[in-house]
Amino acid sequence: MDINTFSAYSYFFLIIFLVVGSYSYIYHLYKNRKDASGVDYEHYSNMALKDDIGDAPVKPMPDEKKK
């Protein structure tokens, strides 16, 4: 086996390893969407797109004036 064949095989296995690693990391991110306190931050993803003054808030706050 010369160096070109070895280089081709190592490149192929490196690409396979990187694809499997990327997909497993993406799966890990979507499986564990909540942080340690149980808050799911995925609904904050549109905050940069919906930032007009008339848009609804991302997470509405409860009214504390109703005491």
Please list the pLDDT of the chain residue by residue as tens digits (67 residues).
899 999 999 999 999 999 999 999 988 877 777 666 777 677 777 777 777 888 887 777 777 765 5
List CB contacts of 43: < 8 A, sequence separation 6 or more.
Answer: 58, 59
Q: How far is Cα 51 from Cα 38, in angstroms, rounded to an integer?
A: 25
| pLDDT score for 11 | 97
| pLDDT score for 64 | 73
| pLDDT score for 48 | 76
CA nearest neighbour of 46 among 27, 64, 59: 59
Q: What is the pTM of this model?
A: 0.53
The C-alpha angle 51, 54, 56, rounded to 5 degrees, equals 70
